[in-house]
Amino acid sequence: MKSAFSWRSFWRGAAGLVFLLALWEIFARSGLFTQALTPPLASIAKVGWRMLLDGSLAASAAYTLGRVLAGLSLACLIGIPIGMLMGRFRPVEKFCLPLVSVLMPIPSLAWVPLFILWFGIGEVTTLLVVSYAATFPVVYNVWTGVRAINPLWLRSALAMGAGQRQIFRYVVLPGASPYVFTGIRLAFGRAWIAVIGGEMLANPAAGLGRAIFDAREFLDSEVMLVSLIAIGVVGIAFERLVFQFIEHRTVARWGMVADAGSGRR
Amino acid sequence: MMSAPFLLLAAVWEAVAIAGVFPPKLFPPLETVFGTLASLSIEGILWAHTQETLLRLTLGFLLAAVVGVALGILMGRFRLIEDLFLPAVSFAYPIPGLAYAPLFVLWFGLGNLPAILLVGAASCFVIIINAWKGVKAVKPLWLRAAEVMGANERQMFWKVILPAALPYVLTGLRLGLAQAWRILVVVEMLMAVERGLGWMIFGARQFLNTDVMLAGVMVIGIVGLLLEKQVFERLERYTVVRWGMLTA
């Protein structure tokens, strides 16, 4: 159950934020670092406003988000079937599990230099790194989800004469869906990290990570900080709005998990 | 048969390498990769890089663990500290630590210091959040019981709150270590450190030493696996499981 909006928690949050901003302002004006490196709030806000108006911030964010979504789709396309097969069929599980458990702990970004050699600098490499990061959480969670299906459901479907296809469509798919969603959510988090690293190392055309990296050359701390904030905001917004919406419309509606908003209806 | 999938994968790799689909410099056959791995380890180069990477990981993670656990517990115990830090922590938590890398280079220069600080900064938020949640999740009944039995603030902390919050704290530490490990490799590429596995891979690209890069990726995978299996599963067995907070 989500707690209702309360002014008290709002003021507490606002106070914390003000405290933090004040701390930064003191730090910036203290001259501990030069102001070129730690700009005061006013100039950050000014640059942020400018980047918002001329559309460069939106463009970078769109590039980055597009890459994440493309990589995530690729990861789902590969990861969900493999995970399902692993969960359903013992030989597939026996074959894939050792590979997955060896490849999973390798940080996706460690592959970047190698991918650059193989696929060149730019879009392809970034996309591959993002998909690599996102695939394993999907595979792992789908696999777990299929195995976590109540065996009673499978047996009762079987007893009622369901074919392999019907079992898959009406039992396995909805039964595993909460785990599938958890996997995709985790994968989004991983992909969001990988895309920033990929953009810094593999030099694609544009993007928030790229913007930060390029701004360093010109000592443009304001641009770096604004892009940093944008990365946080876009990540949180996507996670909160999109994923909660999808979950609400699918898994929660099928009655597989308790819905956060259902108490209010 | 655990090895069957690896043998098949190795066979496919070997077939592609020998067929010459890609130039051998870019796609070396496995014997070259393992030969490089062997010679690098015999010459001690690999060990020097691994040592440096592990040292950086340890320092960065220790920094994150000390700051993160302390702040998380304070946030859980005292309302004022929670009010002041929670908005910042929950905003910074989802920002990938890597995004700070160029900023840290500007502030602290290149080399070891910013690398360690960045690893620490990237892994501390998940530790803070979990420690805070752990303290919040302590059963109020235990607190009241301890209070009734006359426990003072210190006893309350050491005997009730800390053991009760420990499963969460350890989860946070585990996630933090995984995060630190994932980011460290890239940090080494971006910060121009002197040695390190990430740096080895990155540097080998300049000379088209694909075999060195593949050997480096292998070692990174092995270290990652060992960290998870050997360090944390053990730690968990010795503490929370033994105290009966979790069943193994």
pLDDT in tens, B4-15: 788 888 888 888
Task: Give the pLDDT score at A135.
Answer: 93
* Cβ–Cβ under 8 Å, residues B134 and B173: no
Query: What are the pLDDT digits (tens) for A128-157?
Result: 999 999 999 999 999 999 988 888 888 898
Q: Say yes or no: A1 contacts chain B, CB-CB below 8 A.
A: no
Closest-CA residue of B relative to A191 is B96
What is the rounded average pLDDT of the residues A222-232? 88
More confident residue, A80 or B84: A80
The residue count for chain B: 248
Residue A221 near chain B (CB below 8 Å)? yes
pLDDT score of B3 more than 80: no
Q: Do B106 and A224 touch (CB under 8 A)?
A: yes
B2 inside 8 A of chain A by CB: yes
Structure-block tokens of residue B53: 């990477």
Mean pLDDT of A102-115: 86
**Model pLDDT, residue A213:** 85
Residue A132's pLDDT is what? 93
pLDDT at A142: 93
pLDDT, tens digit (0-9, with 9 covering 90-100), for B105-127: 888 888 888 899 999 999 999 99
Question: Between A11 and B216, whose confidence is greater?
Answer: B216
Residue B23: pLDDT band (50, 70, 90) is confident
- Quickly state the pLDDT bin for B102 (edges 50, 70, 90): confident
Query: Domain locations in chain B?
Result: 49-241
With an 8 Å Cβ cutoff, is B95 touching chain A? yes
pLDDT exceeds 70 at position B244: no
Q: Is A224 on the interface with B (CB under 8 A)?
A: yes
Percent of chain B with pLDDT over 70: 95
**B170 is written with which tokens?**
């350890």
Q: Say what the pLDDT of residue B247 is.
A: 54
**pLDDT mean over B225-234:** 79
Quote the pLDDT of residue A71: 93
CB B42 within 8 Å of CB B100: no
pLDDT the model gives residue B245: 61
Q: Answer whether residue B18 shows pLDDT above 70.
A: yes
Q: pLDDT value at position A43? A: 85
CB contact under 8 A, A16 and B198: no
Q: How confident is the model at residue A265 (pLDDT cuts 50, 70, 90)?
A: very low
A155 touches chain B (CB under 8 A): no
What is the per-residue pLDDT for A264? 35
The one-letter amino acid code at A33 reads: F
Partners of residue A106 in chain B, C-beta under 8 Å:
217, 220-221, 224
Contact B71, A182 (CB under 8 A): no
Is residue A260's pLDDT more than 70? no
With CB atoms and an 8 Å threshold, state whether A213 touches B102.
yes
Query: Chain A: residue nearest B21 by CA?
Result: A118
Over 60: is that where the pLDDT of B55 sits? yes
Instruction: Give the integer Cα–Cα distance in Å for B246 and A5.
Output: 35
pLDDT category at A36 given cuts 50, 70, 90 is confident
Question: CB–CB of B94 and A38 under 8 A?
Answer: no
> CATH number of the domain at B49-241, out of 1.10.3720.10, 1.25.50.10, 3.20.20.70, 1.20.120.1730?
1.10.3720.10
Mean pLDDT of A215-242: 85
Is residue B190 a contact partner of residue A200, using CB atoms and an 8 Å limit?
yes
Quick one: average pLDDT of B228-237? 75
Contact A109 B182 (CB under 8 A): yes
Min Cα distance B149 → chain A (Å) is: 33
For A255: left if phi > 0, alpha if psi spans -120 to 50, otherwise beta; the answer is left
Closest CA to A224 of A62, A38, A66: A38
For residue B8, the chain A residue with the least C-alpha distance is A95
Confidence of residue A258 (pLDDT cuts 50, 70, 90): low
pLDDT at B117: 92
Mean pLDDT of A171-196: 88
- pTM, two decimal places: 0.82
Q: Is the pLDDT of residue A95 over 70?
A: yes
Say whether residue A212 is in contact with chain B using an 8 A CB cutoff. yes
Partner B contacted by A163 (CB < 8 A): no
Mean pLDDT across A182-203: 88
ipTM: 0.79
In whole angstroms, give the CA distance from residue B118 to residue B99.
Answer: 10
Contact partners, residue A118, CB within 8 Å, separation at least 6? B22, B26, B27
- Arithmetic mean of pLDDT, A59-63: 89
Task: State percent of chain A over pLDDT 70.
Answer: 92
What pLDDT score does B242 carry? 66
